[in-house]
């Protein structure tokens, strides 16, 4: 099937012009008002009706049973290989394989957090704590809080924690206001982006421990205990079986590739898409669609990205099970065409190229200031 151009609709040229020049959405206050004023309900409510009638929100227990069993067997196989290989440099291949398994566990935790697997809160939280805290060493509660804020305001300069200018700047405004590490790294952030992703696994764990003191953490003692247990087994097993040099190399390869994998999955979804300034008015449908990008690529991409390549549909219907997203994509893209809403699709390599181009562009004020 032919892949459509990245954007279409009556206002696609206007949106592309904004992206090319300011990478910021600022003047969209009239978007979506026609349906609301005519008494037909919001634009999203009509899309939601079509999705519901197609049965795409029902749970898929068989799919998740098969998927989680496969990931569990892969984890067991990786641990078994680690024990069999012993104190040898070939353990680095085991570390690389376990990095992929860890990435898949991260995607499983994501689906549990969104209640794609279970409709009720308790089993979702229990599964999330087991996968995130016990198996990955990442706080489920901290990540849930952070990810919920991201979903509420994707690419919002002040409200989306995923585009906070801590290390990398995501807009020219952030670049002009950058201080500390972001001011130095921002000058060369396009070149440093993938090397920085190798630290993301460690950053998730560090941020998890730091969040235990936050008032927003509901179960700090439980989550802290599970995190300590994870790292006691993780580092204890590695440094018991391997010599110090090999152990350090194993951790570096495993954590580095794990971070690179997760970053490669999440980065294409929003990076390089328009940023939203404070005061910009967007209805729910446009807020999610205009700031998100779908990644084309077939079944292999679906597995690699855990369904997050259907990012637009995931943001519109966060609890939709992964196997329903492809069908929802067809309905959503057609509906956006009816309304003239730009709908972005791209290949995986092209999406990363766009994200890197965006990082270089928004970092320009820092390079110009250093001249």
DSSP letters along 105-150, please? HHHHHHHHHTTSS-SSHHHHHHHHIIIIIIII---HHHHHHHHHHH
pLDDT, one tens digit per residue, over 146-186 is 999 999 999 999 999 999 999 999 999 999 999 989 999 99
The pLDDT > 70 percentage for the chain reads: 88
Does residue 41 share a domain with residue 111? no
Q: Which of 79, 73, 103, 104 is nearest to 91 (CA)?
A: 79
Q: What is the pLDDT of residue 172?
A: 93
Q: Say if 160 falls within a structural domain.
A: no
pLDDT attached to residue 360:
95
Q: Which residues contact 121 (CB under 8 A, 6 or more apart)?
A: 115
Q: Under DSSP, is residue 4 helix (H, G, I), strand (E, B) or coil?
A: coil
Q: Which domain holds residue 308?
A: 12-58+270-369
**What whole-number distance in Å separates Cα of residue 237 and Cα of residue 219?**
27
76 and 136 housed in the same domain: yes
User: Quick one: average pLDDT of 258-272?
Assistant: 95
In a domain, 2, yes or no: no
Of 269, 294, 311, the residue at which a domain comes to its end is 269
pLDDT of residue 57: 96
Same domain membership, residue 258 and residue 135: yes
Q: Is 151 exposed, middle or buried (0-12, 13-18, 19+ CB in 10 A)?
A: middle
What does the pLDDT look like over 185-243, one tens digit per residue? 999 999 999 999 999 999 999 999 999 999 989 999 999 999 999 999 999 999 999 99
Indicate if 217 and 112 belong to the same structural domain.
yes
Is it the case that residue 337 has pLDDT exceeding 90? yes
pLDDT confidence of 1, banded at 50, 70, 90? very low
Domain C-terminal end among 201, 234, 269: 269
Cα(317)–Cα(120) distance, integer angstroms: 16
Q: What is the pLDDT of residue 279?
A: 86
Tokens matching residue 85: 């290989």
User: Which residue in 48, 38, 16, 78 sits closest to 290, CA to CA?
Assistant: 16
Is 77 within the bounds of a domain?
Answer: yes
Domain count, the chain: 2
pLDDT one-digit tens code per residue, 351-367: 999 999 999 999 999 99
204, 130: one domain: yes
- Residue-averaged pLDDT of the chain: 90
Q: How far apart are CA 258 and CA 260, in angstroms?
A: 5
Identify the H or E element spanning 185: helix 181-185
How buried is 331 (Cβ within 10 angstroms: 0-12 exposed, 13-18 middle, 19+ buried)?
A: middle
| Tokens describing residue 261 | 């994998």
Whether residue 81 is predicted with pLDDT greater than 90 in this model: the reply is yes
Tokens 């921002």 map to which residue?
Answer: 186
**122 and 248 share one domain:** yes
Residue 178 lies in a domain: yes
pLDDT band at 370 (very low <50, low <70, confident <90, very high): low
- As a whole number of angstroms, the distance between CA 292 and CA 345 comes to 9
176 and 65 in a single domain? The answer is yes
For residues 192 and 249, membership in a common domain is answered with: yes
What does the pLDDT look like over 94-105, one tens digit per residue? 999 999 999 999
For the chain, the distance separating the N- and C-terminal CA atoms, rounded to the nearest angstrom, is 48
Find the helix packing angle between 244-270 and 91-113, rounded to 10°.
40
Residues 82 and 187 in one domain: yes
294 membership: H or E segment, kind and range: strand 294-296
Q: Within this chain, do residues 248 and 365 fall inside the same structural domain, yes or no?
A: no
Same domain, yes or no: 94 and 187: yes
For residues 127 and 276, membership in a common domain is answered with: no
- Contact 74/101 with Cβ under 8 angstroms? yes
Indicate if the pLDDT at residue 7 is higher than 90.
Answer: no
Reported as half-sphere exposure (CB side, CA atoms, 13 A), residue 49 has a value of: 8
- In tens, the pLDDT along 279-305 reads 888 999 999 999 999 999 999 999 999
Q: Give per-residue pLDDT as tens, 9-45.
A: 334 334 433 433 345 665 544 444 444 433 346 999 9
Q: Does residue 4 lie within any of the structural domains?
A: no
| Domain final residue pick, 233, 254, 269 | 269
In a domain, 328, yes or no: yes
The band of 71, judged by pLDDT with boundaries at 50, 70 and 90, is: very high
């Amino acid at each position: 099937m032919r892949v459509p151009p990245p954007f279409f609709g009556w206002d696609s040229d206007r949106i592309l012009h904004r992206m090319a020049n300011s990478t910021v959405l600022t003047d969209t206050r009239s978007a979506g008002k026609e349906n609301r004023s005519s008494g037909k309900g919001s634009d999203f409510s009509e899309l939601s009706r079509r999705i519901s009638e197609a049965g795409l929100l029902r749970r898929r227990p068989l799919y998740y049973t098969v998927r989680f069993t496969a990931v569990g067997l892969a984890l067991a196989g990786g641990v078994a290989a680690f024990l069999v290989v012993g104190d040898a440099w070939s353990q680095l291949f085991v570390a690389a394989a376990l990095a992929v398994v860890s990435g898949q566990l991260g995607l499983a935790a994501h689906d549990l957090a969104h209640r794609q697997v279970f409709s009720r809160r308790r089993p979702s939280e229990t599964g999330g704590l087991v996968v995130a805290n016990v198996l990955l060493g990442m706080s489920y509660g901290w990540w849930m809080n952070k990810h919920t804020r991201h979903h509420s305001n994707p690419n919002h300069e002040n409200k989306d924690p995923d585009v906070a200018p801590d290390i990398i700047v995501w807009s020219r405004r952030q670049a002009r206001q950058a201080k500390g590490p972001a001011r130095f790294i921002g000058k060369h952030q396009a070149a440093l982006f993938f090397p920085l992703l190798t630290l993301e696994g460690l950053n998730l764990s560090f941020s998890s421990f730091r969040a235990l003191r936050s008032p927003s953490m509901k179960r700090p003692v439980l989550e802290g205990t599970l995190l300590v247990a994870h790292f006691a087994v993780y580092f204890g097993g590695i440094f018991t079986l391997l010599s110090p040099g090999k152990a350090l190399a194993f951790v570096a390869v495993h954590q580095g590739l794990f971070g690179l994998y997760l970053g490669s999955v999440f980065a294409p979804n929003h990076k390089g898409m328009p940023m939203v300034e404070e005061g910009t008015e967007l209805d729910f449908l446009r807020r999610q669609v205009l700031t998100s990008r779908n990644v084309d690529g077939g079944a292999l991409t679906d597995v690699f990205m855990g369904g997050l390549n259907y990012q637009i549909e995931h943001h519109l219907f966060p609890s939709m099970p992964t196997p329903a997203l492809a069908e929802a994509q067809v309905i959503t893209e057609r509906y956006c065409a009816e309304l003239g809403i730009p709908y972005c699709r791209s290949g995986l390599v092209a999406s990363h190229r766009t994200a890197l181009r965006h990082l270089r562009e928004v970092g320009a004020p820092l390079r110009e200031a250093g001249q």
